[in-house]
Amino acid sequence: MQATAIAHPNIAFVKYWGKRNIDRNVPAAGSVSMTLDGLETRTSVEFSEALAADSLQLDGEPVGSGETLQRVESFLDLVRRRAGIERAAQVETRNNFPTAGGLASSASGFAALARAATEAAGVDLNERELSALARRGSGSAARSVFGGFVRMEVGEEGEGAAGFQIAEADYWDLRCLIAETAEGPKRVGSTEGMLHTERTSPYYDAWIDSVGPDVDDAVSAIRDRNFGALAEVAERSCLRMHAAAMGSDPGLLYWNGTTVELIHRVRAAREGGVDAFFSIDAGPHVKIFCEPSDEADTVSLVEGVDGVNDVRVVGPGDGARLVE
Ligand code: PMV
């Protein structure tokens, strides 16, 4: 009863920021993303009668208590219930990028855990069911189950909310430059941030209403490989998500000075003919998308900028898969 899986993070072009149902972790609206190559989470799960309790090792360190362990245990409970087993599990997970720093480690983490834990427990799910299960761990993880370009669908009831692949990774060779502008974990986690925005931001409802049309626009832009159209909708969605969060009380501001500097640089470069657009999640890092022909110009946009600690360029990646 042992399995290992790999999954990659994803970056949303149309952002998910709000929950319809907290207990079942159903998003309030859809979203659209690209799964990333290069960054990966590798997770091994073993269920065994010899274990007294669940254990978790993250990047080589035992995690003895706290929210991360609780989230993993609750997720394992869902898998155990489906498998009809009671055995405890030993989970070992490793990221080749900073964990919980706003680089979407919960997306790849729960996608890999869903894939490995269901295999180890002998639960047979199709991709959509696996995606709906991964969603229970983290909303964005539902999208990382699939490779390439992915849409999150919420549906009428929301119970089965899951990802849906728009196109495979090789459909469109987009590049994503990730500029890390800070170290350490993010200050306000995404769940807390979403709930705070819903409770206190007067812009929350307007934000949620704007997501549906943006999802349609992003799906069309991807199908047509229309970079300009994708740039428009992605920057709009990112800024509206952050505007809703900033409008909370007290306001949530995930950006630092470098984040703002890079936004201006991307926009100025676009006016100068470089096809690039930015995206920012619940942290200060900036992701800049471009096509391969603009990669060198895009890299030079962030080089030498004060506060940029690390830069990497990745392409579209595959979905969550078993490796052992
Ligand atoms: O799935 P979570 O709880 O990590 O939330 C993801 C939230 C954002 O990254 C900010 C947006 C998104 O759609 O990925």
Asked if the model's pLDDT at residue 139 lies above 60, the reply is: yes
Contact present, 158 and 46 (Cβ < 8 Å):
no
Residue closest by Cα to atom 8 of ligand 1: 281
**pLDDT-wise least confident of 64-73, 94-103, 198-207:** 94-103
Q: Which atom of ligand 1 is nearest to the CA of 106?
A: 4
pLDDT of residue 198: 98
Average pLDDT across the chain, whole number: 95
pLDDT over 70, % of the chain: 96
What is the spatial distance between Cα 27 and Cα 139, in angstroms, rounded to a whole number?
Answer: 7
Q: How far does residue 281's CA lie from ligand 1's centre (Å)?
A: 7
What is the spatial distance between Cα 295 and Cα 175, in angstroms, rounded to a whole number?
Answer: 7
Residue with tokens 């080749």: 96
Which among 93, 135, 88 has a CA at the least distance from the CA of 111? Answer: 135
Which among 190, 181, 186, 128 has a CA at the least distance from the CA of 159? Answer: 128
pLDDT of residue 34: 98
Mean pLDDT (whole number) for 128-135:
97
The tokens describing 166, both together, are: 């728009």
Contact present, 317 and 165 (Cβ < 8 Å):
no
- The model's pLDDT over 286-307, given as tens digits with 9 standing for 90+, comes to 999 999 999 999 999 999 999 9
Q: Which atom of ligand 1 is nearest to the CA of 11?
A: 14
pLDDT band at 213 (very low <50, low <70, confident <90, very high): very high
What is the spatial distance between Cα 258 and Cα 47, in angstroms, rounded to a whole number?
Answer: 45
Can you state the angle between helices 204-223 and 190-200, rounded to 10 degrees? 130
pLDDT band at 105 (very low <50, low <70, confident <90, very high): confident
Which among 267, 32, 38, 303 has a CA at the least distance from the CA of 175? Answer: 38
Asked if the model's pLDDT at residue 101 lies above 60, the reply is: no
pLDDT of residue 102: 55
pLDDT of residue 99: 62
Q: How far does residue 267's CA lie from ligand 1's centre (Å)?
A: 24
Task: Give the DSSP letter string of 26-82.
Answer: EESS-EEEEEBSS--EEEEEEEETT-SS-EEEETTEE--SSHHHHHHHHHHHHHHHH
Q: How far does residue 138's CA lie from ligand 1's centre (Å)?
A: 8
- The model's pLDDT over 239-271, given as tens digits with 9 standing for 90+, comes to 999 999 999 999 999 999 999 999 999 999 999
pLDDT band at 313 (very low <50, low <70, confident <90, very high): very high
Which residue out of 17, 255, 278 has the highest number of ligand 1 atoms within 8 Å of its CB and is therefore the one to mutate? 17
Asked if the model's pLDDT at residue 209 lies above 90, the reply is: yes
pLDDT of residue 158: 64
Q: How far does residue 187's CA lie from ligand 1's centre (Å)?
A: 14
Asked if the model's pLDDT at residue 25 lies above 60, the reply is: yes
Instruction: Give, rounded to a whole angstrom, the gap between the first and last alpha carbons of the chain.
Output: 12
Contact present, 113 and 43 (Cβ < 8 Å):
yes
pLDDT of residue 36: 97
- The model's pLDDT over 144-191, given as tens digits with 9 standing for 90+, comes to 999 999 999 997 766 789 999 999 999 999 999 999 998 876 679 999
pLDDT of residue 182: 85
Contacts of 153 (CB under 8 A, 6+ apart): 30, 161, 162, 163, 164
pLDDT of residue 226: 98
pLDDT of residue 185: 66
Q: What count of other Cβ atoms lies within 10 Å of the Cβ of residue 81?
A: 12
